[in-house]
A and B are shown apart, each in its own frame.
Chain A
Amino acid sequence: MLGFLSARQTGLEDPLRLRRAESTRRVLGLELNKDRDVERIHGGGINTLDIEPVEGRYMLSGGSDGVIVLYDLENSSRQSYYTCKAVCSIGRDHPDVHRYSVETVQWYPHDTGMFTSSSFDKTLKVWDTNTLQTADVFNFEETVYSHHMSPVSTKHCLVAVGTRGPKVQLCDLKSGSCSHILQVVFAGHRQEILAVSWSPRYDYILATASADSRVKLWDVRRASGCLITLDQHNGKKSQAVESANTAHNGKVNGLCFTSDGLHLLTVGTDNRMRLWNSSNGENTLVNYGKVCNNSKKGLKFTVSCGCSSEFVFVPYGSTIAVYTVYSGEQITMLKGHYKTVDCCVFQSNFQELYSGSRDCNILAWVPSLYEPVPDDDETTTKSQLNPAFEDAWSSSDEEG
């Protein structure tokens, strides 16, 4: 690393190279650390986590008890031992709390003044963070599995919502209407939509994953139908057999774009994870092996950002499996939770991973640092003496 630093100083190498190399090294050293903790507030399993993209400081969590908690991740105490405290929470006593389990929470992408949450009680609620009141509620006919708002878009404020029905609905935050529906009778989805995700590269591209084994890419400006249905066998494209194209051999549970938006990762209940080229829908055939997936609803996984070879963190039973995205190699399994892990998020500024599971815990996986060098002070010799054995008598000289 000293070589990198001196190369950067003399201008031989791009500064980004040192940053990426060090980020990769830190991600490879992720482990549980006794010094880092997240305060336990939830009484039920944690379904979703989201870290705000502006500063990476505040984290929202949504649980199966309907409670939403806001955590401050920043360590402002000078000590190494730190518990991430809950700043505020929308608990069961709040008048507007969700009645059933909260499935997805997401910060408003441009600032932390607002966040959205969707739940099995068939609503999508928009909250004001400072007053913790609902600014708007959208009601649907079916339970909501997932929602997502575009992280890059400045031209629209659409929230894509995936419900138990086969239609993908778009809610407009500016006008408060949820009338835009993406459904075309022949080419739309046929069963519940388990995951939706906007592309981080283009404003209008949306990917949806459904229990009918299909993943579709849509341009929301185009009313006539989806752009591409992903086909795992990369067969010849022809209009007549769009209906036979399946992305997985089971339900497709989770979707995640890579941070540059050029590739899309999908996981399905056939225990496979696939990497797709998001511009032409081609299966890159990277083989990750068996990625155990028994989840009946969506599985939220995440991709690292800023490393030289990107990593994907997928909940695998009660552990989290880490793979390199483009070569499919399994790096490690992070073991620590007691029950099934449901969601994980990556904080790219400090290369930390937070994961939530059904055992009501959020664990923080921190890059393992070097052991602190013991101080060479005189204070240590004094403090070695147990205060119980310390002499409580004053010195006889003073008393005279």
Chain B
Amino acid sequence: MSWKRHHLIPETFGVKRRRKRGPVESDPLRGEPELMQLFPRGLFEDALPPIVLRSQVYSLVPDRTVADRQLKELQEQGEIRIVQLGFDLDAHGIIFTEDYRTRVCDCVLKACDGRPYAGAVQKFLASVLPACGDLSFQQDQMTQTFGFRDSEITHLVNAGVLTVRDAGSWWLAVPGAGRFIKYFVKGRQAVLSMVRKAKYRELLLSELLGRRAPVVVRLGLTYHVHDLIGAQLVDCISTTSGTLLRLPET
């Protein structure tokens, strides 16, 4: 019998005194700077803004629905942008808006000074970003509301700011994120295989973090561990010796 079900009983009956629970409502905004610190800026020579994944936020905030709602609020306020990372439809990257703007400005404008992209990208950053907080943009939105021509949209795709999703719709993207995604996917597989090769396919968290990271893991073990726990690719079991990470049976 799981202990978890019983906490609903006093709530239903309303008679038992509620035990004071610790801060359950932990704010993702507080957790994100910590996660952003884990992102290795030096690896990409500051060309990429620090990207945090949604699954990492889930590993910090125990209630996922609350985390989702708070992230959505932050997105609506314009503090963060959520970006679709190509390898998995569910993996969303979270970037602070100012970071995104400064990095994209620097890197794209440096790379394409004088080329036709520059104007389109400037226009995009100035008009579309503040106005529309979504992950994706549609054809008629771009042409009618923001006044982009087809050629300008092609420039944006070439510059790496937009990625094609379907005929007539595009995802927001981070230029130069290809390397990050490559390191991320390889690193995730490497950390998972570390757990898989262990006897009984389980490892104590402290032991995992104490091991030397294999060469493939360029983003850091802690970064990947947060992501694995949040994405439920490993089960997190608390034992008397600390947290245990175990591969799920299914």
Contact = CB atoms under 8 A, between A and B. Distances in A.
B15 interface: yes
A287 B68 contact: yes
A331 B4 contact: yes
Given A233-B135, A240-B138, A28 B9 contact: yes
A285 B168 CA distance: 26
Interface string A266-281: 0000101000000000
Nearest to B71: A285
A385 interface: no
Given A1-B13, A285-B72, A289-B64, A241 B232 contact: no
B1 interface: yes
Contacts of A236: 134, 138, 141
A312 to B, nearest CB: 14
A157 B200 CA distance: 56
A241 B137 CA distance: 11
Interface string A233-249: 10110101101100001
A270 B89 CA distance: 9
A316 B140 CA distance: 42
Interface in B118-139: 134-136, 138-139
Contacts of A249: 89-90
Contact of B8 (A24, A241, A243, A286): A24
Interface string A327-370: 11111110000000000000000000000000000000000000
Contacts of B6: 28
Given A236-B138, A332-B4, A241 B168 contact: yes
Interface string A18-47: 001100110011010000000000000000
Interface string B216-250: 00000000000000011000000000000000011
Interface residues of A, number: 41
A238 B136 contact: no
A292 B65 contact: no
A241 B12 contact: no
Interface in B54-81: 58, 63-65, 67-69, 72
Given A28-B5, A327-B65, A329-B63, A244 B13 contact: no
B4 A235 contact: no
A235 B89 contact: no
A309 interface: yes
Most buried by B among A20, A29, A287: A287
A285 B68 contact: yes
A290 interface: yes
Interface string B140-170: 1100000000000000000000000110110
A347 B141 CA distance: 49
B12 A240 contact: no
Given A25-B13, A249-B89, A308-B12, A287 B166 contact: no
Contacts of B249: 317
A332 B7 CA distance: 12
B65 A4 contact: no
Interface in B1-35: 1-2, 4-6, 8-9, 12-13, 15
Given A240-B168, A249-B90, 17 more contacts: A20-B12, A28-B8, A31-B1, A236-B134, A240-B138, A240-B139, A241-B166, A244-B168, A270-B90, A287-B64, A292-B250, A317-B249, A324-B8, A328-B63, A329-B4, A331-B2, A333-B2
28 contacts: A1-B13, A4-B13, A21-B13, A24-B9, A24-B12, A25-B12, A28-B5, A28-B8, A28-B9, A240-B139, A240-B140, A240-B168, A241-B166, A241-B168, A243-B166, A244-B168, A285-B65, A285-B72, A287-B58, A287-B65, A288-B64, A292-B250, A317-B249, A317-B250, A331-B5, A331-B8, A332-B2, A332-B5
